[in-house]
Amino acid sequence: MVHPVRLCHAGIACFTMARRFCAVIGLSKCRTGARGYRRRTEMFLALVGHLIEISKAIRVLRRLPSGFVRAKNLVWGSKMAVVTALVIGAGQRGRNYACYALDRPDGLKVVAASDVRESAREYMAKTFHIPANMIFSGWEDAVAGGKLADCAIVTTPDCEHKGPAVACANLGYHILLEKPMATSLEDCIEIREACRRNKVMLAVCHILRYDPPIALMKEVLDSGEIGEIVNVEQTEPVGFYHFAHSFVRGNWRKEEESSFTLLTKCCHDVDLILHIMEGKTCTKVSSFGSLHHFNNVYAYACGPENFGSVGDELGKSSKGTWIGIYLEPCNGTPVWPWSVVCDVEDLPGKEYKTKLLERIQDGPYGRCVYECDNDVCDNQTVMFEFDDGSTAALTMVAFTERICERLIRIRGSKGEVTYSGGSEVRVFDFLSRMTTTLKPSRQESSESSRRRYGHGEADYFTIDSFVKAVQRGDPSLILTGVDASLRSHLLTFKAEESRVRGCTIKDPERL
């Protein structure tokens, strides 16, 4: 919490100011001669001190209005109101964030939900005890009757972000919006305008900023320990089966139905680079990439006879078949990626494994990866240049053992920070040539909740910050607000423009 500190500073500044003022008044009767001269000098110095304190107080007080608003909303020592939520799009991500209400019933209550799928609506009604009149079939129905809750959690597919986000902002909902904000720059701008106009808070789920080790890494950078940041090298290793699942067979495979990979997979990473390079402006961006492997050229090169039918493949052991990842044991409680193929409530009355195999045989996830209708890049790099001459390089690649565990190296003038997944951050100091290994201390979520949330604990802290921001009326708790997110989306669109046009884009931050 920042505002009590600020209030404290303001109090100290006012007290010092009053003390000096009294001293000045007390010195009004000055003698002549050496003692008088000394008194006058003291008086003069007191006056100078007085003026300095006044200017300090003004500076502190100028920062206070938002603090006062926050202090007004935050009743110290008393119980804060539970934030109510409407979930729009109750799929993987919507349920993930809604889980917070089960974990922190004093923070969040899901009071309404909307999904086009009946099974998802049933799941929400049952899990969160939502009455039938607060369950809606599409986002349009959910917003038609006015505002139902304090905030809206918008987790619909990429192409369905702008509609519900703008409608919810117009109704005065604070919004937690899944990334990408929208699939076109114009739509992202429209969302920002709607939030500004209606004075609502919006957090985009750029979960990396909330990830405890990454937050720790940022603290190290802010402390100045590694000096000026000169270069950032960041890799998003998507993972071979994750890419095949989501970007070859799944929802993000076709640009027309979703968007380009850099936006759907890496707007987080562009956002993180801007977070690391805080205070700098990007002056140039350049990108290269292609759909190198997952295309039917390979199917014909290998000979179609080498790929068995789904039925043949199901007979093999899970290690030796291309659909093996779906056949690993999942104990009847599906988590990603099984839950995407077939969720618990799908095909009621059947054992989970049976349902899963049926879905693989009949659905998109049983398709050969070389014979799908995918068209998005499976490898891409982006280069950034900043206004102080520093640089950053981002690589997104499908062909990795790691699944989305970022590799980040930040080179400063005094040292280097490395994050290579897990919970540790390594700091190397050039002067002492010593390495320090740091671990985050943020561990608020319970054991049970950590099992439920995805992306380490990043998802937990994303929703946690948002709920606290709404509860306390404090937008500063949101690290990925609408302006910061629009900026990183703009840069992502410009990077893709560079790849498509084959040129370097100058001043990419200019709207």
Ligand X SMILES: NC(=O)c1ccc[n+]([C@@H]2O[C@H](COP(=O)([O-])OP(=O)(O)OC[C@H]3O[C@@H](n4cnc5c(N)ncnc54)[C@H](O)[C@@H]3O)[C@@H](O)[C@H]2O)c1
User: Where along the sequence are the contacts to ligand X (CB under 6 A)?
Assistant: 88-94, 114-117, 120, 138-139, 155-158, 160, 178-179, 205, 207, 251, 264, 455
Phi, psi for residue 87 in degrees, rounded to 5: -100, 120
Which is nearer to ligand X, 3 or 162 (by Cβ)?
A: 162
Q: How far is the CB of 283 from ligand X (least distance, A)?
A: 28
Which is nearer to ligand X, 92 or 420 (by Cβ)?
A: 92
**Which residue reads 């879905």 in tokens?**
359
Q: How far is the CB of 118 from ligand X (least distance, A)?
A: 10
User: How many angstroms separate the CA atoms of 371 and 431, rounded?
Assistant: 55
Which is nearer to ligand X, 117 or 452 (by Cβ)?
A: 117
Find the Cα–Cα–Cα–Cα dihedral 69, 72, 78, 83, rounded to 10°: -50
Q: How far is the CB of 453 from ligand X (least distance, A)?
A: 11
Q: How far is the CB of 318 from ligand X (least distance, A)?
A: 24
Query: Angle, to 10 degrees, between the axis of helix 162-170 and the axis of helix 185-198?
Result: 10
User: How many angstroms separate the CA atoms of 469 and 476, rounded?
Assistant: 7
Q: How many CB atoms lie within 10 A of CB 145?
A: 10
Which is nearer to ligand X, 58 or 144 (by Cβ)?
A: 144
User: How many angstroms separate the CA atoms of 20 and 168, rounded?
Assistant: 52
Which is nearer to ligand X, 144 or 503 (by Cβ)?
A: 144
Which is nearer to ligand X, 205 or 425 (by Cβ)?
A: 205
User: How many angstroms separate the CA atoms of 180 and 184, rounded?
Assistant: 9
User: How many angstroms separate the CA atoms of 447 and 108, rounded?
Assistant: 19
Q: Cα 267 to chain center, whole Å? A: 9
Q: How far is the CB of 484 from ligand X (least distance, A)?
A: 15
Phi, psi for residue 490 in degrees, rounded to 5: -55, -45
Which is nearer to ligand X, 267 or 310 (by Cβ)?
A: 267
What the block records as the tokens of 315 is 């007979």
**Which residue reads 């001293």 in tokens?**
23
Find the Cα–Cα–Cα–Cα dihedral 251, 255, 259, 265, rounded to 10°: 60
User: How many angstroms separate the CA atoms of 363 and 365, rounded?
Assistant: 6
Q: How far is CA 155 from CA 85, 164, 327, 415, in A?
A: 13, 10, 28, 40
Q: How far is the CB of 379 from ligand X (least distance, A)?
A: 20
Query: Angle, to 10 degrees, between the axis of helix 482-501 and the axis of helix 261-276?
Result: 120
Q: How far is the CB of 176 from ligand X (least distance, A)?
A: 10
Q: How far is the CB of 223 from ligand X (least distance, A)?
A: 28
Which is nearer to ligand X, 158 or 378 (by Cβ)?
A: 158
Q: How far is the CB of 3 from ligand X (least distance, A)?
A: 29
Q: How far is the CB of 90 from ligand X (least distance, A)?
A: 5
Q: Which residue is nearest to ligand X (CB)?
A: 91
What the block records as the tokens of 167 is 């409608």
End-to-end Cα spacing for the chain: 34
Which is nearer to ligand X, 251 or 281 (by Cβ)?
A: 251
Which is nearer to ligand X, 47 or 344 (by Cβ)?
A: 344
